[in-house]
Structure 1
Amino acid sequence: MNYITYLAPVGAVIALLFAFYLAKKVLRADEGTELMKKISMSVRKGANAYLKRQYTGVAGFFAVLFVVLIVMAAFGFLTWFVPFAFLTGGFFSGLSGFIGMKIATASNARTANAAQKSLNTGLRVAFSAGGVMGFVVVGLGLFDISFWYFFLKWWFSNPDHLVIAAGQTLEAAQIQAITSAMLTFGMGASSMALFARVGGGIFTKAADVGADLVGKVEAGIPEDDPRNPAVIADNVGDNVGDVAGMGADLYESYVGSIISTGALAVAAGMGFSGVTIPMVMAAIGIIASIIGTFFVQTKEGASQKNLLSALRRGTWISAALVAVIAFPLIYFVLGSDKIGLYVAIICGLLAGVLIGFFTEYYTSDTYKPTQKLSATSETGPATIIIGGLSLGMRSTAIPVIIVGVAVLISYFVSGGGDDFNMGLYGIGLSAVGMLSTLGITLATDAYGPVADNAGGIAEMAGLGEEVRERTDALDSLGNTTAATGKGFAIGSAALTALALIASYLAEIKVIDPEYFANLNLNITNPAVLIGLFIGGMLPFLFAALTMEAVGRAAQGIVMEVRRQFREITGLMEGKAEPDYASCVDICTKSAQKEMIMPAILAVVVPIVVGLILGVAGVAGMLAGATVSGFILAVMMANSGGAWDNAKKYIEAGKHGGKGSDAHKAAVVGDTVGDPFKDTSGPAINILIKLLSMVSIVFANVILAFSLIR
């Protein structure tokens, strides 16, 4: 029955082939007029220059950590495979973001041009471009996992390469060695994700804030007006932050959920069959997601609800297919007595759908919360900011309850009442279930920046009013799908982080069973309590660092845009062209400089906490960071999404429309919300997972050198 595991690499190849098909389909579309091509090329050049500089800087970080891991392996703290798998994880994570961004920047003008034909044509081009990102992420992620799984299975088939404990079978020792090694591999993906998310987030929001504050508020010119020097940087930022950054973020969750669930399967005594399930589930999800993409289409004149229904139709069909196929998978691989694990998978699927729906409810302007928020703009910026903050705080309740219920049900239906480790395995499978349809879920998210760029190009190229209406409809839908995608990413990060915490403790048990048997994780243990406080504080400190980074970078853009408006003769009259490249360069330099401190924080803190407070302190820190990080990320993402769509709602003609005092107040609210939803909030997802990954990799060092045993 273990031959079914070969479905994992087959699924990976199918995903990459489908991504290639979608890419060719997008590139066959006409790019439009020469002006549209020129604008698109400017965005493409800026995005390429940013990623080249980012990857150069990140290469230095990876080189240093690679040497550290090599030294650790030389002293016996890690297997020799870990340093190299660390590099492959980072490489494939970065590659997925790079490919997704290349297609996204190539499809913006094509989407705008397609919108001249019909709304559905524009939707299909943008969605296909997003699909490339989605299927490249799941394809490369599952390929990386499959490669190392089968390579390690071959390597550890030799008993001479194994340490077999007394009373342990050869097969049990083999699968334990495989999963213990693979568990440390996610650190490369996590590290790359942090740089991509934080750096991209700083870039995009510095450009966006600068463009809005000077262009909209001070100069009173429309969004995406070609006279605004920051408009190209803004469009570049959409791609490096919301395509490359989001792709790396969810790549990390995807890989982390699969490998941590595999480790939990071994702890639960499920052996090779238990490890097979999450890998095959991922392959099934790929096929289901591909089928779902063919159901995403709409008709001319569709409302926002119609457009949302078109995207929902694809994701719901994919989820339904996974739900159907998962039953025989569990039944025939694990047996009828383990059918409760199927319920755990369904819990994860439903949790993902519900979190997405309630995120949409709180952030879309088709529902009451955002409509009410837009009304507060009539009394000025202060009231809309207060309203947005309170909306974000209120919106945390439902996702927390959904995740809590999913965890509780998954634990008990999997047999947690009788076997603690089986319950944890069920929670891991719940996370895998939620992420199984990531191919199409990420496609609906990555679609957003493409539609946003298309709207900007339509404005700058002077396309007809009908075209702009269509691109505005696609852009507004993109705002909602982006907010929904962030909610999904946060929810999946919470479940993945819970599985990783359990995997961390399982790894400690493998390294030193006697120490683990006497480990005191009681909340009254001072080490655990201090760890909880430190972990609870970390997301706030991390958010502060990233918010300040956006603020400093945005100041540079504001000063540059003001300078150009002041010094370039004829710019405001449309008789001269602004210097777009200088704004792109300022954003690029700022992002590279400002992302260093948050990255160091995420890597260094778990090691320091471990060396001082020991294993118990690290467990407390991980728990505290997961709880506060999950809630803070939801609040920031939903506040930012609601402020953005409240502004869009007013621009559609409500409360005085564009140029009114209410609109100016809403622009201020949206400006505050930009780093909330696109920099700090999403990056917290990665923080809580990277903390766990670093803790797992350095578990041996912490056990050997911690001050508190």
Structure 2
Amino acid sequence: MGSDLFGSYAESTCAALFVASISSFGSNHDFTAMSYPLITSSMGIVVSLITTIFATDVFEIKKLLGIAIGIHSSIFELKSRGRTEYYTSNAYSSPVQDVADSCRTGATTNVIFGLALGYNSVIIPIFAIATSIYMSFRLAAMYGIAMAALGILSTIATGLAIDAYGPISDNAGGIAEMAGMSHSIRERTDALDAAGNTTAAIGKGFAIGSAALVFLALFGAYVSRAGIEASAVLKMVEEVCRQFNSIQGLMEGTSKPDYANCVKISTDASLREMIPPSALVMLTPLIVGVLGGSLVSGVQVAISASNTGGAWDNAKKYIEAGASEHVKSLGPKGSDCHKAAVIGDTIVDPLKDTSGPSFNIHIKLMTVESWVFAPFFAAHGGLLFKVL
């Protein structure tokens, strides 16, 4: 993510300078509008250096709350940060704990609940980005949008520190375990690792949101109804459990189960929920264009992948901690519930560290490529329109 943030930082600076050079802001040739982005970047670096003075190890961190206070006081980004923390931190009663609860019925429901959680977490960040774009455009048109992106990225040093926090704490925990250090040290590294998963998701949202502002990647927002699939799976599990409890001889194989009711649950859910994704796939390119459709979808998929990964990872750590009565009811480490959480945790790294960031890079690459070929399309027209 470091190279991605640096790329967004350079591109947002270039965008602001380019818009300032061709807009009415620079008509007097006093270079005020062109100097402002450079001043903003410079001040951001200075502020980031000053904040390092307040980073100290004098006070011992014993709880996750101590880290959260530092995060709250040092980060200023899109409103989506708070939502990301809510969906990826186990300090709240929901939804990470709901993901842990879904492990009661196996790994399948854990995976589906995690994916549904990620899709649901997209809604508010997308509206936050859309609001930022609208307000920036109302204040200073395209120049305002470019400056909004640069303002977010001006404190890139803090963003990079947040992004690096997760892997450092994770590796520290691995070293402590391999070295056979005391259990108290491992508990502290686990708390740091749990906080690191949240900060990593925040850092990825930071990069995705800034990229969306830089390239005007967001043309609209869709309201996901994901989570219906998870409820359908739960209904299926409950129906199977009901039949085992009510039909005599079903476990022994002497009686036949009620196949029709199970088929009805899955068929109704599949037919009902195929309409929104089908409409999204077919209508998005027609409404906003192929480029616009990929941008709108890519931002949302990238955010959901990041949040889903953080939720799965922290759900496993939540079960392993066993710090509350609710966790103890799920079972100890090594139980079936914990095994289901471990299976979900195996999907975490490829999803939040590979798939999610790759969408962000893909979005920017498509936009930069379209800008490069813009003179060709302006002179000769789009290839698609020639075919049609």
> Partners in 1 of 2:38 and 2:291 — Cα distance?
26
Q: CA deviation at 1:674?
A: 2.8
Deviation at 1:658, TM superposition (A): 1.6
Q: 1:477 to 1:437 in 2, by over 3 A?
A: same
Give 1:294 deviation, angstroms.
2.5
- C-alpha distance in 1, partners of 2:313/2:358? 19
- Counterpart of 1:262 (choices 10, 14, 17) is 17
Render the CA deviation track for 1:422-451: whole Å, top value 9, x for unaligned. x11111111111111111122111121111
Matches within 5 A, 1:70-89: none
Q: How does 1:186-585 map to 2 (within 5 A)?
A: 246-271=1-26, 272-297=31-56, 299-315=59-75, 319=76, 352-367=77-92, 368-414=94-140, 423-498=141-216
The residue type equivalent to 1:445 in the other structure is D
Other-structure match for 2:226: none
CA contact (8 A) 2:78 2:209 kept: no
Gaps of at least 5 residues in structure 1 are 1-245, 320-351, 415-422, 503-531, 537-615
Match of 1:72 in 2: none
Secondary structure at the aligned position of 2:4 is classed as: helix
Q: Secondary structure at the match of 1:498?
A: coil
Give the structure 2 partner of residue 651 of structure 1. 320
Map Cα deviations across residues 183-238 of structure 1 (whole Å, 9 max, x no partner): xxxxxxxxxxxxxxxxxxxxxxxxxxxxxxxxxxxxxxxxxxxxxxxxxxxxxxxx
Normalised to the residue count of structure 2, the TM-score between the two structures is 0.74
Show the counterpart of 1:697: 372
Q: Deviations over 1:222-272 (max 9, x none)?
A: xxxxxxxxxxxxxxxxxxxxxxxx111111111111111221222322223
| 8 Å CA contact 1:297, 1:310 repeated in 2 | no
User: Deviation per CA, 1:464-492, whole angstroms, max 9, x where unpaired?
Assistant: 22222222222222111111111111111
Letter in 1 for 2:311: A
Would you say 1:664 and 2:314 are equivalent positions? Answer: no
The alpha carbon displacement at 1:702 in A equals 3.8
CA distance in 2, matches of 1:356, 1:442: 15
CA contact (8 A) 2:166 2:197 kept: yes
Contact 1:295 1:314 in 2 (8 A): no
Matches of 1:305 and 1:628, distance apart in 2: 34
8 Å CA contact 1:454, 1:471 repeated in 2: yes
Cα distance in 1 for residues equivalent to 2:173 and 2:348: 21
Q: Which residue of 2 aligns with 1:677?
A: 352
RMSD: 2.4
Deviation sequence 1:543-583 (CA, Å, 0-9, x none): xxxxxxxxxxxxxxxxxxxxxxxxxxxxxxxxxxxxxxxxx
Q: How many residues align?
A: 308
The equivalent residue for 1:99 is: none
Change (3 A) 1:657 1:296: farther
Q: Deviations over 1:325-383 (max 9, x none)?
A: xxxxxxxxxxxxxxxxxxxxxxxxxxx24222211111111122111211111111111
d(CA) in 1 for partners of 2:332, 2:34: 56
Q: Which amino acid aligns with 1:280?
A: I
Deviation at 1:388, TM superposition (A): 0.9
Do the aligned partners of residues 657 and 266 (structure 1) sit closer, same or farther apart at CA in structure 2, a change above 3 Å counting?
farther
The answer as to 2:293 corresponding to 1:624 is yes
Which residue number corresponds to residue 281 of structure 2? none
Task: For residue 698 of structure 1, report the CA deviation from its aligned partner.
Answer: 2.8
Paired with 1:301 and 1:627, the residues of 2 have a C-alpha distance of 40
Q: Which residue of 2 aligns with 1:46?
A: none
Give distance in 1, aligned partners of 2:38 and 2:117. 38
C-alpha distance in structure 1 between counterparts of 2:74 and 2:347, whole Å = 33
Alignment partner, residue 71 of structure 1 = none
Amino acid at match of 1:431: A
Offset from partner CA, 1:145-192 (integer Å, 9 cap, x none): xxxxxxxxxxxxxxxxxxxxxxxxxxxxxxxxxxxxxxxxxxxxxxxx
The separation in 1 between residues aligned to 2:118 and 2:41, in whole angstroms, is 32
Matches of 2:332 and 2:207 in 1, distance apart? 33
Matched residues in 1 for 2:202 and 2:55: separation?
17
Alpha-carbon distance, 1:301 to partner: 4.7
Separation of aligned partners in 1, 2:56 and 2:358? 32
The code of the aligned residue for 1:248 comes to S
Q: Say whether the 8 Å CA contact 1:293–1:314 is kept in structure 2.
A: no
2:190, 2:317 within 8 Å by CA — same for their partners in 1? no
**With CA pairs under 8 Å and 6+ residues apart, which has the higher RCO, 1 or 2?**
2
**1:657 Cα deviation (Å)?**
3.1
3-state SS of the aligned residue for 1:463?
A: coil
What is the rounded CA distance, in whole Å, between the counterparts of 1:496 and 1:666 in structure 2? 37
- Per the TM alignment, residue 386 of structure 1 is displaced from its structure 2 partner at its CA by 1.8
Conservation of the 8 A alpha-carbon contact between 2:312 and 2:345: yes
1: CA distance between counterparts of 2:109 and 2:163? 30
Work out the percentage of aligned pairs sharing the same amino acid: 47
Question: What's the offset of the Cα at 1:413?
Answer: 2.4
Aligned equivalents of 2:192 and 2:118: distance in 1? 24
